[in-house]
Chain A
Amino acid sequence: MIDITVNGQNHSVAATDINNVAIELSIKPPFAVALNGDFISKDEYHTQVNSGDSLEFLSPIQGG
């Protein structure tokens, strides 16, 4: 298990890449991802996640 932050909350996960973090935490599409503040494109969701990393999964919302 690794300790990571997802959308500002601490999680211990078995997953070791972004794709599996989303599955393990039941994060539903559509979403876009940032790892440690940097954009990660869809075709890079195999990127390894390490303990201490911070992930953001963002989805469409209302905006002005």
Chain B
Amino acid sequence: MSDTWSIYGTELQSRFLIGSALYPSPTIMQESIRQSGSQVVTLSLRRQSPQSKEGQAFWQMIKDLGLHLLPNTAGCHTIKEAVTLAKMSREIFGTDWIKLELIGDEYNLQPDPIELVKATEILLNEGFKVLPYCTDDLVICRHLVELGCQVLMPWGAPIGTGKGLLNEYALSAIRDRFNDTTLIIDAGLGVPSHATKALELGYDGVLLNSAVAEAQNPEVMAQAFAKAIEAGRLGYLAGQMPEKNMASASTPTLGMPFWHQE
């Protein structure tokens, strides 16, 4: 069954977007990303250490994977920082995709919704294809869609917490309201069943990093998430049975044995 989706017109088969950070080693990173079957990998830009050649080695390993690159603006706290970093990323990575992160609070790394909307508008006007990392606030999502975002990336939970989908109601509402928008759960997932749930809710994909990179065995966890995402998607397509409050026997009652006839 052909079941593709797209990010700003780029058709994809895998619904798993994976991060490149926090792995125990570069080799494990590369193998985990391969095992995930992902077609999109996230990465970033930082100051170069003159003494270190790790940055160049990392960049070569990522290029060798041959995937779509999704640079982020992680760590940015102001619109100017995010816009400048986005422009630098576009040049060096050769893509106009940008995972726009604009942090509003250090405690939970929650996106600043107001500044996010302003930065999104600037970047869209500059020709970027913005994938905003946002909260599960329906109205903020509406503003982002009205600006022209074709993709939204609400959080499941704060980055790196592994808590799963903290507010399924809010996430479902976003799905229901924006049928034509590509929706990706970004951040907060911990175990494969969290990803399954996201796809069962009708989300188009998930983006995660820590849950794989910090697993005891990242390569195997990458496979587990890939299968969980596929299961969730198939479950969504198959359609859930109506939920009921009262039990309903699945075995036919016609022809029950003698003891019920007394």
Contacts and interface: CB of A to CB of B under 8 A. Distances in A.
Interface of A: 7-8, 25-28, 30-34, 37-39, 41-42, 56-64
A57 B22 contact: no
Given A7-B48, A63-B71, 14 more contacts: A7-B47, A28-B56, A30-B92, A31-B48, A31-B92, A37-B84, A58-B85, A59-B59, A60-B58, A61-B55, A62-B43, A62-B58, A63-B21, A64-B21
A31 B55 CA distance: 10
Contacts of B74: 63-64
B19 A64 contact: yes
Interface string B41-53: 0111111101000
Nearest to B72: A63
Given A7-B48, A27-B50, A62-B22, A34 B43 contact: no
Q: How large is the interface on B (under 10, 10 to 19, 20 to 34, 35 or more residues)?
A: 35 or more
Interface of B: 19-23, 29, 42-48, 50, 55-56, 58-59, 62, 71-72, 74, 80-81, 84-85, 87-89, 91-93, 159, 187, 209-210
Given A27-B50, A60-B62, A63-B44, A39 B210 contact: no
20 contacts: A26-B50, A27-B50, A28-B48, A30-B92, A32-B91, A33-B88, A37-B81, A39-B87, A58-B46, A59-B45, A59-B92, A60-B62, A60-B92, A62-B19, A62-B22, A62-B43, A62-B44, A63-B19, A63-B74, A64-B187
A32 B89 CA distance: 7
A38 B80 CA distance: 8
Contacts, number: 94
Nearest to B69: A60
A27 to B, nearest CB: 6
A59 B20 CA distance: 15
Residue of A31, A33, A42 with most partner-chain B CB within 10 A: A31
B154 to A, nearest CB: 16
A34 to B, nearest CB: 5
A61 B71 CA distance: 10
B84 to A, nearest CB: 5
B47 A57 contact: yes
A59 B52 CA distance: 12
A56 B43 CA distance: 18
**10 interchain residue pairs of minimum CB distance:** A63-B44, A64-B19, A64-B209, A32-B88, A39-B87, A62-B21, A58-B45, A7-B47, A59-B48, A60-B59
A51 B159 CA distance: 40
A56 B87 CA distance: 13
Contacts of B209: 64
B92 A64 contact: no
